[in-house]
Amino acid sequence: MTKALINARVLTPEGFKDKQSILFRGEKIVAICSDAYRPPDVVVERDLGGMVLLPGYIDVQVNGGGGVLFNDNPTVEGIKAIGAAHRKFGTTGFFPTLISDDLAVMASAIAAVEDAIEQGVPGVLGIHLEGPFLNQEKCGVHDASKFAQIGPDELALISRLKNGTTIITLAPEKTTPEIIRTLCQRGIIVSAGHSQASYEEAIAAMDAGLSGFTHLFNAMKPMHSRYPGIIAAALEDKRSWCSIIADGHHVHPAMLRLALRAKAEEQIFLVTDAMPSVGARDKGFSIGGNKIEVQDGKCTTGDGTLSGSDLDMNSAVHNAVAYLDIDLAQAVRMATILPARFANMQDRLGEIRPGLQANFVLLSPEQKIVQSWIKGKAL
C-alpha cells in the first residue's frame, strides 16, 4: 500500500517546495510530487495543512534524555527512554553515547545497542563511545580514573557491534596511527576529542583514517599563532568533519560563524551532547557521583565545569539560524544530511527523496515539533 502525506511545504534537496505530496510504501519514500499530480490510488494518511515537513533530525551524540543517562542504564529500556525523549524534539535517528567508563559497562552498552537494533527500537543507528581513550588534561566531566590505552582487548571490544555503526571519540596523541587505521579498516568511524593533540598529530591521525572532531573547540587545546594544534587541523583539512554544540553556552556564536566559513565543503554539523535533563521534568542529574545543575539550559558541576547540554535538536537547528546567520534550510542540513554523510548513511537517511527511509519531522507555524515519522510510522 502506498500512503501519502499531502499539502505540505517540503524541504527537498533542491529547497523548499509548496503544496507537495510525499508518497511512501512501508519504510521507504517512493515519490515526491505536486498535490495536483498525486496518483489517485494512494491512501492519504494526513493532510498537513501547508505546514513544513523536514527530514528527520540525526544526532550522533546523545548521552541521555527523559531522565536517563546511558552510562547508568546501558540497557534496551534505557535506549528506548532516551529515544522517546528526543523524538519529541524531532530526532528520528540517534547514537546512544557512552562517556568514559569501565570496559564492563562498555560491553553492556554495546550489547544493549545490538539488541535494540535487532528489536527495532525506533531511531537507533549505532553507538558512540566517547572515551575512555582520552587525555586527562582535557577530561571535562569525564572521570579520568576510567581512562585507558587501546590494547588488543580494547580493540576487540570497540569492534564488537555487528548491527549498526560504531563511532569512537579518542585523543589521537593517546594512541597510534596504526591503531586508528585498524579501527577504520573495521568500519568504525574515528573522531578526535578531549585532546591536546598537536597539529602534526591530528594530521597524522587523519592520514590514518580519522575523519571527525567531536564538539569542536570544547575540550581541545586552543589555537596559537605558532602552535596551531588540533583545532586548526580540523578547520583547515578538507577531509575532516566537525560537530558543534549550538546551545549558546559551549561556543561563542562568533567562533561558530568562523568555523562554518572555514568548512566550505559543508563538513560541519550539529549535535546536542544531550544529558538526561532533555525531555525530563526534573532537570537535575548526577554523573559518577557528581551532582549536575541545570539552569537556563546550561549543565554544570558545582565548580562550573560544563557537563554536556540541555539542548534538543530542534532548538539546535533554530539556534543555528540565529547564531550562524543562515536560513532554515541550511540549518536543517546541518541536522540531517550532513551528520548522515559523516556516519556514511546518506544512502538511506538525511533527505526527503525517493529510495530513502520515510523519516520526517512536521513543524508548526511556530516551528515546534507537531509529529515525527520513523520508517513510515507516525510516532
What distance, in Å, lies between the first and last C-alpha atoms of the chain? 19
Q: Which fold has domain 57-342?
A: TIM Barrel (3.20.20)
DSSP character at residue 221: P
Mean per-residue pLDDT of the chain: 97
Residue 35 pLDDT more than 90? yes
Residue 288 has a pLDDT of: 85
State pTM to two decimals.
0.97
DSSP character at residue 328: H
**Domains of the chain, residue spans:** 2-54+353-378, 57-342
- Cα separation, 85 vs 277, in Å, equals 10
Residue 31 has a pLDDT of: 97
Residues annotated as catalytic are 273
Buried b (16+ CB within 10 A) or exposed e, 189-212: bbbbbbbbbbbebbbbbbebbbbb
Residue 362 pLDDT more than 90? yes
- Homologous superfamily (CATH) for 2-54+353-378: Urease, subunit C, domain 1 (2.30.40.10)
Report, as an integer, the average pLDDT of 282-286. Answer: 92
Residue 194 has a pLDDT of: 98
- Cα separation, 349 vs 91, in Å, equals 12
Residue 188 has a pLDDT of: 98
- Cα separation, 220 vs 232, in Å, equals 11
Assess contact for 21 and 5: CB atoms under 8 A: yes
Assess contact for 5 and 46: CB atoms under 8 A: yes
Assess contact for 229 and 223: CB atoms under 8 A: yes
